[in-house]
Amino acid sequence: MQVPRTPAEKGFSRRTFLRTAGATAIAATGANALASCSSSSPTTTSLIASKLYPSADAQKLNDSFDWGKSSVADPKSSVTITVAHSWSPADFVRQQQFDYFFQKRHPNIKIVAENAGDSSADYLKKYSSQAAGGSLPDVMYNGFGFAQNFIGSGAFLALNDYISGEPNFNPSDFAEVSTGYYKRDGKQYSVPYDCGPVMIYYNKDIFAKAGVALPTAGWKFDDLRNAVLATTSGQGAGKVFGLSLPVTPVDTFWDPVRLSPLGGHYLSDDESQVLLDKPESIAAVEWWMDMYLQKGVFPSPSELQGMSQADAFALGRAAIKVDGSWGAPSLRDQAAFKWGIADWPAGPKGHSTAAVGSAYSITSKSKQQDAAWIYLNEYLSTSGQVFMFASTGKGNMTRKSAWPAYLKSDAAPEGANAIYNALNTYATSTGVVFGPATPQITNAVTPIWDQVMGKSLGVSDACKKIASTIQPLLKKNVAG
Amino acid sequence: MAQAAPTLELPGRRTRRTSPLARREARAFYGFASPWILGFILFGGGPVVAALLLSFAHWSLLSTPSWAGLANYRKMFADPLFYKSIGNTVYFGAGSVVLGVVTSFLLAILLNQKVRGLGFFRTVFYLPSVVAGVATAILWINILQPDSGLINSFLRFFGIKGPGWLVDEHWAIPGLILMSVWGAGNTIVIYLAGLQGISPTLYEAALLDGAGWWDRFWHVTVPMMSPVIFFNVVTSLIASLQAYTLVLVMTEGGPNNATLMLGLYIYRQAFEYFDMGYAAALSWAMFALIGVVTALQFVLARRWVHYDA
């Protein structure tokens, strides 16, 4: 299940003039251009509030926790640490509330919070540019998809010594699947803060109208297929789809979610070999695609264009959405129909789903690593996760001990117990594509799959073509 | 006359060099221009030179750059997607410029007529130019939708089954070309200014000679407007060859790489694959492409652009 992977690049000779020229240019252009998309909050000296996060509630919640004490002593004089986040503007308010209370507890640690917005792509551009300019923050957010690039380049500090020296940290409290993305050579480089499994979201109204029983924990792949076929109906703008989004290899989770339960695989576990052209893998892909090719159970490219690329489930036009549990909060706020979450069904060859998330790291060149650890330890403690995730309805906490508060809250959707169950039992990182070659793989398979979706290329031929196209790209996953 | 010219110039030059007023003016000029000059050198010239150096390096942003010699350029010339993107870029650039220049020129002529509500019409045609790029893209995704989009619905009215536009690889670039006319407002304004600069006496003379509307258009308007047309062709083509935002939002280079433009390919290499060296090499290829195309236009301009107004 675990994933020590190779980084994108390694072992370069030094060319100082190039580095200087490149760093200057990128830092000047990239960082300055992207700075306009981000916000920076100098040390928070007052309690910021919003309609979503009133100050009185925040104060009350904060006061209800025993925040404990780190084994690392607070600095004797004032120090400042910079923390990089990837929050939406609304959720950044909650972050600033946490920082305010943290600074009250640790008067000698000042926090400067940077927020690049909730686009991973923008975040990555900004902090890759800053890495090139040698100006990374002390603590930074990172996602499962790109953490290994930073780890491999030496940008993050191994946290094992801090973790082992912290009696109350309790590593076993973290869902096992959440930690693997941030390990390398036996060392842990990040503390995961959220991790969500891919689940079934279902539209109760559509199920009822079609007379189909709602998904249950005991569902099998055949139950899923029967429901998808039975709920697909209509034509044109009034068409209802059984599944909201296309089945595609661009989905980096499709191996553990769709193929592995049917006995197929996309890549080998170390992402060095393509397995999609094996007969069992082709059969697994055909199992899904036959439903599209014969009954149009999910939107075609032109149907997607007709919905402005929007999610048919959110529009109330699909019975089932296959998505990570992180999609629940936006559905809770926006859906105009009754919905629920259920376990991903078991296939004839096994039961698995993908679980992915994000984490925070301390950068290796930080001059305030102790202060950064005190912050990280508190931020991702049980209390910190309840403050940031359980109480806000986001869910997906990585600490098992933070889940009861969420499950008891009004914000937990119907089926939230299934998320917790999946995260700690059958969810896996095995088969999730996240090696350094992932973007190239995605862009290489897209044009091939366009032809399958356009019905000008058969599934079997497409799988073989994908295999021959991306096999050379996988060298990047094993380089160095 | 041959002796008079230097006599007239030299005192002037001496005056500019020695006059306190001229020196003050020069200082003021450079003072006011210095933010732009510094900005250009630091944020324009610096990255251009750095990109040239980086094109000879391997660099992933997170690592130390290493010398690569001509490896990035060799990779570029062996990369089928490079040629695909060049072909798509030139196709889109040529198509959008021809359609855009012709359409906006004809619209400018219409908007130059003395009719009631002229201000309203000029505003309406200019308005799309101020709509944000992403909003324009989303609007056109709907307009070009194969089943329920405005264009195919219009075609269906005449019994014509419209193409799949953005989802059909043969029609995706024509769809983008069609959309590019949407932002013709700026070009129209430039044409309008040019049209209003044509002396009415030329048309009066043509009328006296018995010229019809076509002759007046072809033998007076077009030649007199040729420098303006040339300006618009050059600037529009440079912009079209760098097309990126709309393609990223509307098609992401698909279907089947049919709209993979060079700008998008550079973006992918730089900020998706973090192969900055190769991205820099591709950037210089784009620079060369734009340079060659622009130079070609200047050469051809000698045959059809008239500056003898």
Give the model confidence (pLDDT) of A118-140 as tens digits: 888 889 889 988 988 889 999 99
A118 and A187 co-located in one domain: yes
Across the interface, whether the CB atoms of A153 and B63 are under 8 A apart is answered yes
Task: Write down the pLDDT at residue A44.
Answer: 62
A109 and A175 co-located in one domain: yes
Sign of CA dihedral A159, A160, A163, A165: negative
B167 contacts in A (CB within 8 Å)? 300-302, 305, 454
A205 and A343 co-located in one domain: yes
Is A191 domain-assigned?
A: yes
List pLDDT tens digits, range A236-247. Answer: 888 999 999 999
Across the interface, whether the CB atoms of A26 and B61 are under 8 A apart is answered yes
Residue whose C-alpha is closest to residue A433's, from A273, A284, A266: A266
CATH topology of domain B72-304: MetI-like fold (1.10.3720)
Of A32, A125, A153, the CB nearest to B62: A153
A240 and A307 co-located in one domain: yes
Domain with CATH 1.10.3720.10 in chain B: 72-304
**CATH number for the domain harbouring residue A253:** 3.40.190.10
Of B49, B53, B65, the CB nearest to A12: B65
**pLDDT band at residue B254 using 50, 70 and 90 as cut-offs:** confident
A415 and A470 co-located in one domain: no
- Of B170 and B17, the structure prediction assigns the larger pLDDT to B170
Q: What percent of chain A has pLDDT over 90?
A: 72
3-state secondary structure of B61: coil
A356/A345 Cα distance (integer angstroms): 18
Q: Is B167 on the interface with A (CB under 8 A)?
A: yes
3-state secondary structure of B16: helix
A132/B63 Cα distance (integer angstroms): 8
A212/A240 Cα distance (integer angstroms): 14
A55/A100 Cα distance (integer angstroms): 11
Strand bridging mode A241-243 / A139-143: unpaired
Specify whether the CB–CB gap between A225 and A295 falls below 8 A: no
Q: What range defines the domain where residue A121 resides?
A: 16-196+356-424
Least confident piece of the model among A4-8, A167-171, B66-70, B77-81: A4-8
- pLDDT tops 60 at residue A18: no
A391/A408 Cα distance (integer angstroms): 10
B209/B218 Cα distance (integer angstroms): 15
Is A24 domain-assigned?
A: yes
A41 and A160 co-located in one domain: yes
A435 and A290 co-located in one domain: yes
Is A8 domain-assigned?
A: no
A300 contacts in B (CB within 8 Å)? 167
A112 and A178 co-located in one domain: yes
DSSP A59-128: HHHHHHS-----SSPPPSS-EEEEEEE---HHHHHHHHHHHHHHHHH-TTEEEEEEE--S-HHHHHHHHH
A272/B293 Cα distance (integer angstroms): 43
Sign of CA dihedral A301, A303, A304, A305: positive
Of B42, B59, B142, the CB nearest to A308: B142
Q: Could you tell me if the ipTM is greater than 0.85?
A: no
Mean pLDDT value of segment A305-309:
77
A466 and A373 co-located in one domain: no
Instruction: Pick left, alpha or beta for residue A134 (phi over 0 → left; psi -120 to 50 → alpha; otherwise beta).
Output: left
CA distance B253 to chain A (A): 9
> According to DSSP H, which parts of A341-402 are helical?
369-379, 382-385
Across the interface, whether the CB atoms of B67 and A25 are under 8 A apart is answered no
| Cross-strand bridge partners of residue A358 | A143, A194
Number of domains in chain A: 2
Across the interface, whether the CB atoms of B61 and A13 are under 8 A apart is answered no
**pLDDT band at residue A34 using 50, 70 and 90 as cut-offs:** very low
Of A12, A129, A305, the CB nearest to B145: A305
A157 and A75 co-located in one domain: yes
B144 contacts in A (CB within 8 Å)? 305
CA distance A40 to chain B (A): 23
A168 and A78 co-located in one domain: yes
Q: Is B45 on the interface with A (CB under 8 A)?
A: no
Is A5 domain-assigned?
A: no
Is A323 domain-assigned?
A: yes
Q: Which of B 245-274 lie inside 8 A of A, CB atoms?
A: 252-257, 268, 271-274
Average pLDDT of chain A is: 88
Count of beta carbons in the 10 Å neighbourhood of residue B209: 10
Q: How far is CA A253 from CA A148, A285, B231, in A?
A: 17, 13, 51
Sign of CA dihedral A366, A371, A372, A373: positive
Of B47, B147, B257, the CB nearest to A302: B147
- pLDDT tops 80 at residue B142: yes
Task: Write down the pLDDT at residue A14.
Answer: 36
Mean pLDDT value of segment A318-341:
92
Is A205 domain-assigned?
A: yes
The backbone torsions φ and ψ at residue A339, rounded to the nearest 5 degrees and listed phi first, read -145, 165
Task: Write down the pLDDT at residue A223.
Answer: 97
CA distance B96 to chain A (A): 23
First to last CA, chain A: 22
Mean pLDDT value of segment A339-356:
96
A113/A100 Cα distance (integer angstroms): 11
A323 and A460 co-located in one domain: yes
Task: Write down the pLDDT at residue B224.
Answer: 94
Is A154 domain-assigned?
A: yes
Output the six-digit token pair for A404. Answer: 């009861």
Residue whose C-alpha is closest to residue A141's, from A82, A83, A80: A83
| Cross-strand bridge partners of residue A263 | none
Task: Determine which of A305, A317, A475 to mutate to test the interface with B (most B C-beta atoms within 10 Å).
Answer: A305
B266 contacts in A (CB within 8 Å)? none
A325/A381 Cα distance (integer angstroms): 21
Residue whose C-alpha is closest to residue B277's, from B50, B53, B55, B70: B55
The backbone torsions φ and ψ at residue A461, rounded to the nearest 5 degrees and listed phi first, read -65, -40
List pLDDT tens digits, range A67-101. Answer: 988 999 999 999 999 999 999 998 999 999 999 99
CA distance B49 to chain A (A): 8
CA distance B285 to chain A (A): 18
Across the interface, whether the CB atoms of A150 and B62 are under 8 A apart is answered yes
Is A4 domain-assigned?
A: no
**pLDDT band at residue A39 using 50, 70 and 90 as cut-offs:** low
Across the interface, whether the CB atoms of B256 and A451 are under 8 A apart is answered yes
CA distance A360 to chain B (A): 18
Task: Write down the pLDDT at residue A52.
Answer: 86
